[in-house]
Amino acid sequence: MQQLAPTGGSEKPLLSLNDINMTFGGVKALKNVSFDVRPGEVHCLAGENGCGKSTLIKIITGVYRPADGASIEYDGEVYSHMSPVTAQDRGIQVIWQDLALFPEMSVAENIAFQTVLGRWPKLVDYGRMRKIATDALQRLGITLDVDLPLKEYAIAQRQIVAIARALVGEAKLVFMDEPTASLTQSETDHLLDIVRGLSAAGVAVVFVSHRLAEVLEISSRITVLRDGALVGVYPAEGMTQSRITELMTGKTFDQEVRATARQDQPVVLDVKGLSRPGQFDDISLTVRRGETLGITGLLGAGRTELAQTLFGMLQPAAGTITLEGKPVHFSSNRDAIKAGVAYLSEDRLSLGLIQPQSIADNLVISSLGKIVSGGFLSDERKRKLVAGWIADLGVKIGLQSDAISTLSGGNQQRIAIAKWLATDPKLLILDAPTVGVDVGARAGIFDIVAKLAETGLAIILISDEVPEVYFNADRVLHMAQGRIVGSYDPRSVPLAEIEGAVYA
Amino acid sequence: MHSFARTHATEVALIAVIAVICTVLSFATTNFFSIGNAFDLLNTSSVNIIFAVGLLVVLIAGGIDISFAVAASVVQYGTAIALGWIGGGGWVSGLVIAGSIGICLGAVNALLIHRFRIISIVATISTFNIYFGLLMFFTKGVSIYDLPEWLTDRVVLFEHEMADGSWIEITLPVLVMVLCVIATWVLITRTTTGRQLYAFGDNPEGARRFGINIGAMQFIAFGWLGLMAGIGGLVQAHYAQEVVPNALYGRELDVLAAVVLGGARLGGGKGSVLGCVLGVLLIAITQNGLNLMGVSPFAFKMIVGAIILIAITLSNTSIERLLPFVTQKGARR
């Protein structure tokens, strides 16, 4: 892969990082990364999940301390590491993905929050607070009732409140971590206008987003990271979405489409006209024996709600679910498990596994019935069952009695899969199975998925990373705003076309 | 002002409920709706309101405290003994001593929670038992009746005989209560520290990212409750004219229920002084009314419990969700 020459700029950078290394528990999260931002530019930081983007942001904002030898040059001064206080004092602001706002407090207080900070108590000047908030919102061209509690506003307005708060801090450099992830298209357009306005006013913005279309639209330069290393810095002009994807993944061409036709197989799951108001609408789909159906789409498209409905955790308002020819009506996920549906949740760490408990106990939690002997749980049966699955899935563990939290992300994910396989499911729903899993371990997980499909299991694979479903599913459905808006066969449609549709 | 009903929904609802109960009681009983009775209620509720505004601060900061009522008993004994050492003292030295002991006891809770990372309910259940155990052990359950005269003499700040022969009285506990309410209101709504407490209770991680001193927040919240518990304890000793070791035992749950009724959220970030005072008054008015109606005192707890449940269910749930058939019928027509 030839590397474009970094764009030469006559302007002196506002921020320039060199020789950044960071290691977490033996894993190198960043390897000799350098990064620079010019005053007033919109700079995009691109890379797959786990490539080191957030680590880099946390180093610049002082949350993490990089390994020795690093140099951080910001606005004329050189630091070996930042501290959160220095970063804020010097005008570096971050709009975190979780926004770090205070929902019960008023909009004015949220925006002018710095006025209540300080070591010693002072009287609160609500008039000044309101003025600061109104001014900041005015700069963004927005009107909100600053006296209302923030919780009265939807996520798009909260995003704007977070941006307004960053402006109050006399920001010179603003990081936005996935600011558009939960916004609709028109809200996104508005946000991009705001970003352009900031840039015109001399504020540099570092933009992190999965939506490549908006990255190309908004930024002047793009820094690409892959597996903790710098791939390069490229001008946005002349760049294409597929080229960025290629740079980010580095394996577009060496990955093979696994899709095969399964039309001759019997239908396992047949869903017709399934709806839940405000979440998804008129969803119809089928999954056959041995088939892997991929569902992709942006956050808030209704994917997870659909999965939870198929798993009985939510009840549909309309529509039918037919499992192996029998109409089913799950009033809870217990019914769904009994009927042969397994669901690997999106938030594996908090919902899927019980972190302090042992590997063995986590694995058997959904299939306790199988290890009962004479009315009591049998340790011997448990040990055998666990040993079998660990061998089958190639999980690397110490002892069965070790806490699950001692395992790496990839191995935890395998245990979570094994837990569900132990219930002998007919249908396995995998919701974002690679979130928080490093690139190497991902391939391993998809190998397992492919093997499971060969044994006749019907699989629904949900992911917001299009390449993941493209290369690992037999068919790909695109969900947007609660509806299925496209259906693709990876064998006949190029990846870029699906990505274009999803990230548009 | 237009958004007062929107931002203070709990307070508005409480005022409405209190109005309804008062109307019902004024018809059901002969002497509920008299000004004399209203002032009586205020005099008897003062101690609970002082405790309640203290507890409110802890709830806003995302904590909970079970130990403050027995801490107030410890304060009563400690203050009585200390006053004996200094040869009697007066209201000023009494309040200073009681407040200081209270702050120290509150600081013990904050230390356990912040330094040793014990969650507040566990920490304060432990100190509740430790404080009460120590008190019973050292006092052997003996009450103190020979308190200084200034402490047991009733102080009536204002009195007036009404045309119907009843008396209006404002006593010292009411004055102390009003001062505590105002001080707490100033602390949580008018100072930067108070707003930091709200922010910390609302989103602790967000507050931490802004560099808010988490330890200071715990010490201020539990210290403030300690101060209020100390003052409330002294006022209660004054009101009862004696110090009995288990006089306040069990009071913590009554006050907690009243504060939650007033809109404070277990989990932090939410609650107002007005709501808190209304919560205490609602329960006091209900008990007073039941009393005047001649209901057996043995039924009080049951009825008060039911009122708390109904009020909290109403404030958490909109009417449509409680009565789904109402909207469904409407939709079909």
Cα separation, A162 vs B203, in Å, equals 14
Q: Name which of A113, A144, A168 to mutate to probe chain B: the one with the most chain B Cβ atoms within 10 A of its Cβ.
A: A113
Which three-class secondary structure string do you get for B76-104? HHHHHHHHHHCCCCCHHHHHHHHHHHHHH
Q: Which residues in chain A (150-179) have CB-CB distances under 8 A to chain B?
A: 152
Out of A153-162, A197-206, A349-358, the most confident range is A197-206
**What's the pLDDT tens digit per position in B64-110?**
999 999 999 999 999 999 998 988 888 999 999 999 999 999 999 99
pLDDT tens digits for range A98-135: 778 999 999 999 999 888 887 788 899 999 999 999 99
pLDDT at site B265? 84
Phi, then psi, of A433 in degrees rounded to 5: -70, -10
pLDDT confidence of residue A174: 92
Mutate to test the interface with B, among A83, A117, A151, A161 (most CBs of B within 10 A): A117
Residues of chain A in contact with residue B223, where contact means CB-CB under 8 angstroms, are none
Question: What is the pLDDT, as a whole number, of residue A441?
Answer: 62
pLDDT at A169: 75
Q: Say if residue A468's pLDDT is above 70.
A: yes
Amino acid A367: pLDDT: 79
Output b/e per residue, B312-331; b: 16+ Cβ within 10 A.
eeeeeeeeeeeeeeeeeeee
What pLDDT sits at residue B228? 97
A19 SS3 class: strand
A148 in contact with B at a CB cutoff of 8 Å? yes
**H or E element, residue A301:** none
Say what the pLDDT of residue A428 is. Answer: 92
User: What pLDDT score does A348 carry?
Assistant: 55
- Cα–Cα distance between A289 and A292 in angstroms, integer? 9
CA B223, CA B100: separation in Å to the nearest integer? 9
Tell me whether residues B191 and A123 touch, CB distance under 8 A.
yes
B149 touches chain A (CB under 8 A): no
Q: If residue A377 lies in a helix (H) or strand (E), which one and from where to where? A: strand A376-377
In chain B, domain spans: 45-273
Of A100, A104, A123, the CB nearest to B190: A123
For tokens 């409405």, what's the residue? B16
The partner residue sitting opposite B198, judged by closest CB among A98, A104, A148, is A104
Per-residue pLDDT of chain B (333 residues; tens, 9 = 90+): 446 776 777 888 888 888 888 888 888 877 777 777 888 888 889 999 999 999 999 999 999 999 999 999 999 999 999 998 988 888 999 999 999 999 999 999 999 999 999 999 999 999 999 999 999 999 898 898 888 888 888 888 888 887 777 778 888 999 999 999 999 999 999 999 999 999 999 999 888 878 788 999 999 999 999 999 999 999 999 999 999 998 999 899 989 999 998 888 888 889 999 999 999 999 999 888 888 888 888 888 888 888 878 777 766 654 445 544 443 333 333
Q: Name the residue among A101, A103, A124 with its Cβ closest to that of B195.
A: A124
Q: Does residue A398 have a pLDDT over 80? A: no
Closest-CA distance of chain B to residue A104, Å: 6
Task: Count CA within 13 A, CB hemisphere, residue A489.
Answer: 6
What digits encode the pLDDT tens for the residues A215-259? 888 999 999 988 888 999 999 888 887 788 788 877 554 567 778
End-to-end CA distance of chain A: 26
Question: How far apart, in whole angstroms, are the C-alpha atoms of residue A315 and residue A277?
Answer: 11
Q: In 10 A of CB B333, how many CB atoms?
A: 4
State the pLDDT at residue A50: 67
| Domain annotation for chain A: domains and CATH numbers | 28-91+173-253 (3.40.50.300), 102-169 (no CATH), 255-340+425-504 (3.40.50.300), 358-424 (no CATH)
Interface probe, candidates A94, A104, A113, A175, chain B, greatest B C-beta count within 10 A: A104
Q: Which of B194, B198, B203 sits opposite A100 (nearest CB)?
A: B203
Using a CB–CB cutoff of 8 Å, tell me whether B214 touches chain A: no
What is the three-class DSSP state of A455? Answer: coil
Phi and psi, residue B241, nearest 5°: 60, 25
Contact predicate B63/B221, CB 8 Å:
yes
3-class secondary-structure state, position A1: coil
Q: What is the ipTM of this complex?
A: 0.84
Any chain A CB within 8 A of the CB of B301?
no
The span from the CA of A502 to the CA of A254, in Å, is: 23
Q: What number is the average pLDDT over the span A32-61? A: 87
- Give the residue-averaged pLDDT of A442-451: 80
Residue A365's H or E segment, with its range, is none
Residue in A with minimal Cα distance to B1: A147
Residue A270 is predicted with a pLDDT of 94
pLDDT at B332: 34
Whole-number pLDDT of residue A409 = 66
| Chain position carrying tokens 């330094």 | B115
Question: By the CB < 8 Å criterion, does A104 face chain B?
Answer: yes
Take residue A246 and report the two structure tokens written for it: 């290629």
Nearest to A348, CA basis, from A428, A407, A416: A416
Angle at A233 between CA A228 and CA A235, to 5 degrees: 145
A444: pLDDT strictly greater than 80: no
Round to whole Å and give the CA distance between A488 and A497: 10
pLDDT tens track for A355-391: 788 888 888 887 787 788 888 888 888 888 888 888 8
Looking at per-residue pLDDT, the higher value among B320 and A164 belongs to A164
Using the Cβ of B198 and the Cβ atoms of chain A, whether some distance falls under 8 Å is answered with yes
Confidence label for A97 from pLDDT (cuts 50, 70 and 90): confident
Q: In what order do the strands lie in the sheet with A77-79?
A: A77-79, A71-74, A15-24, A27-37, A229-235, A221-226, A42-46, A204-208, A173-177, A92-95
Residue A126 token pair: 């609500």
Sorted by sequence, the CB contacts under 8 Å of residue A211 that are 6+ apart come out as A180, A188, A298, A503
Instruction: Count the neighbouring beta carbons within 10 Å of the beta carbon of residue A338.
Output: 12
Spell out the alpha helix ranges (H) of chain B: 4-7, 9-28, 35-60, 68-85, 91-114, 120-139, 149-152, 172-185, 192-202, 204-209, 214-240, 251-261, 273-292, 300-316, 319-322, 324-332
